[in-house]
Amino acid sequence: MLVRVRTESVLGVSAVGVDVEVESFPGMPSTRLVGLAGGAVQEAMVRVLAAVRAIGVRLPEKRTVVNLAPADLRKDGTSYDLPIAVALLAASHELPPEALEGLHFAGELSLSGEVKPVRGALPMAIEARRAGARGLVVPAENALEAAVVQGIRVHPARHFGEIVAWARGEAPLPEQLPAPLPPGGDAALDLSDIAGQEHAKRALEVAAAGGHNLLLFGPPGSGKTMLARRLPGVLPPLAFEEALELTVVHSVAGLTRGRGLIEERPFRAPHHSISDAGLVGGSNVPRPGEISLAHHGVLFLDELTEFRRHVLDCLRQPLEDGEVTIARAGRSVRYPAQFMLVAAMNPCPCGHYGDKGRPCLCTVHELQRYRRRLSGPFLDRIDIQIDVPAVPCGLLASAGAGEPTEAVRARVARAREAQLERARTAPAGRGAHPRCNARLRGAAQRRACQPDDAGRRLLAQAVEKLGLSARAHDRILRLARTIADLEGSDALRAPHLGEAIQYRSLDRQPA
C-alpha cells in the first residue's frame, strides 16, 4: 500500500514541499530510504523504528521503501523523522490514511518517542499554507513561531503517541493560538544616561533616522559602547513585514523555540575572534550568520581593529546589497542582511591619540600600522565616522539630565515617515523605492537627493579636497537627505551637506 505524507525542506529562508512516500510489499524484511538524503536524514530510520517500538507498535516484517520526493533535492536536518514515522504506520494499516489528508508534519523523534524541536518551523508553516494544507503538526517548542502564520492550524505535539492516538480517534490534538505581542525594548537603556557627547548623540540620531552605518572612535571609557547599545531604542518599531522576515531568519537558525513573532529590533555583538562563516553565514550545511541575524537591526562590532581584516572585508558586499549569497557544492542559498553596522575602536594602539588629558605613546609607524588594519573600501562604506572624546570629569555628574531616548525616537520616527511617504509617492515602473535613505540607489537617489547650487559646490569642493570616492560622494548625499528629513525640509541645502561632510572624520584626518 502506497502512502504519501507531506512535509517541508528549508532552503535558505524559505521552504519547499517534500513528499514522504512509503510502500510495503512482500519480500525479505528491510527498510530502504532513498531521495538524496543527508547524514541526519539517513539516520532517521534508526530513530523512527525505536520510537515506533516505544509506543508499543510492531511493524509487519515486509520490504519497505521510503522515498523523499523530489529526489534531486538534497534533504538535510532532522525534521523528516515525524512524517516518515506517520507514513510508516499508515502504510502498515496502523493509522487510517484518511486522517492524514491535508496535514503536514515536521519534527525530530527521540528513541523514546518524544517530539524534539527543529529549525525553520516558520518558513515551513508559510509553505504549508501556500500549498493549501489544513493543518501543520510540529514539535510543541516550535508551535508558537509556526502559529505566527495566519490561515493554517498549528498543532503542537510533545510525544509521538499523542499523534497516533489522535489519528486513531482516541484523543484530540490541541491547536496552538498565536502568542500575544511582547512589550517593547529595554527601557533601562536611555540616552539620558550618557553624560556629555552631544555631538555623538546627534550622529546616533542621524544614523537611526536614515539607517546609516556608524563608526565611533575615541579613547577607552568615552562612552562608545554605551552609545551603540542605546541605538535599538532610538529606532522605530518593526513593521509586521519586517518582524516576519526577521523571525524567519531566526527560525532557520534555531533561535525561536518557545517564542512567537520577534517584535524587537535585534542587537548582535559578536566577539572579535569570530570567523568569516560565523559573521556572514556558511558551514557545510549553510546557516545564517550574524549579519543576517541582525536583519532590520544593529550589528555592533566592538574593538573593530581586533577583527581579522579578511573577516571585515567580507562585509563589503552585504553592506551594499543588503543580502548575502552562500554558495556550496550543489546548492546556493540567499539570506537577507539589511542591517545597520555600528563599530567602535580606539584611535591608536594605546588609545589616547588626540586626547588632551593623556599623551599618546604610539610612534608614527605604530599608528600607521594600526590604521592599516581597516581597508579603505571597508571604511568607504561607513557613512558616519565620529570622534567620541573623553568626557571631562565635571560633566560626569550630569548623567541622567540629558534628552531622553523617547524624544529622540519621536524625531527619528517622523524622519522615517517622510522616507516612507517618498517611497509611496515614487513613480511607478522605476524600480522599488527603499524604506530608508541609506538604501537609496540609482533613479530613487537622483529624485530624492538633488542639492541646491550652494550645496552642489560645497560637495564638489569636499570631494576634490579630501579625495573622496564616488561611493563616498553618494553616501554624503544620502546622509544629507536624512539630515534634511530630520529638519522637516524637502529641499537639500548647503548646511545639510556641510553636516554630512563633517561626519567623515577619518577622511579629514591626515594619513
Report the Cα 110 to chain-centroid distance in Å: 30
Are 151 and 202 found together in one domain? no
Pick the closest to residue 436 from 324, 296, 315 (CA basis).
Answer: 296
Are 161 and 214 found together in one domain? no
Q: What is the pLDDT along the chain (511 residues), one digit of tens a residue?
A: 789 999 999 998 999 999 999 998 887 888 899 998 988 999 999 999 999 999 999 888 889 999 999 999 989 999 999 999 999 999 999 999 999 999 999 999 999 999 999 999 999 999 999 999 999 999 999 999 999 999 999 999 999 999 999 999 999 989 998 766 555 445 568 888 888 888 999 999 999 999 999 999 999 888 899 999 999 999 999 999 999 999 999 999 999 888 889 989 999 999 999 999 999 998 777 889 999 999 999 999 999 999 999 999 999 999 999 999 988 766 788 999 999 999 999 999 998 887 777 888 899 999 989 988 999 889 989 999 999 988 877 777 666 677 899 999 999 999 999 999 888 887 765 555 677 899 988 888 888 899 999 999 999 999 998 888 898 999 999 999 999 999 999 999 999 999 999 998 776 554 4
Query: Which of 167, 201, 229 corresponds to the end of one domain?
Result: 167
Are 252 and 308 found together in one domain? yes
Q: How many domains does the chain have?
A: 2
- Cα radius of gyration rounded to whole Å, the chain: 28
Distance CA 138, CA 180 (A): 20
pLDDT in tens, 4-39: 999 999 998 999 999 999 998 887 888 899 998 988
Are 339 and 395 found together in one domain? yes
Are 270 and 390 found together in one domain? yes
Cβ pair 132, 108 in contact under 8 A: no
Are 225 and 131 found together in one domain? no
Are 223 and 311 found together in one domain? yes
Pick the closest to residue 291 from 309, 307, 270 (CA basis).
Answer: 270
Pick the closest to residue 352 from 215, 506, 220 (CA basis).
Answer: 220
Residue 184: inside a domain: no
Are 157 and 254 found together in one domain? no
Residue 114's domain is classified under what CATH number? 3.30.230.10
Are 160 and 243 found together in one domain? no
Taking the alpha carbons of 217, 223, 226, 230 in that order, is the dihedral positive or negative? Answer: negative
SS3 at position 38: coil
Cβ pair 124, 247 in contact under 8 A: no
Are 306 and 374 found together in one domain? yes
Residue 298's domain is classified under what CATH number? 3.40.50.300
Pick the closest to residue 462 from 432, 429, 423, 494 (CA basis).
Answer: 494
What are the backbone angles phi and psi of residue 246, rounded to the nearest 5°?
-65, -45
Domain that holds residue 421: 191-502
Are 354 and 482 found together in one domain? yes
The residues facing 327 across adjacent strands are: 332
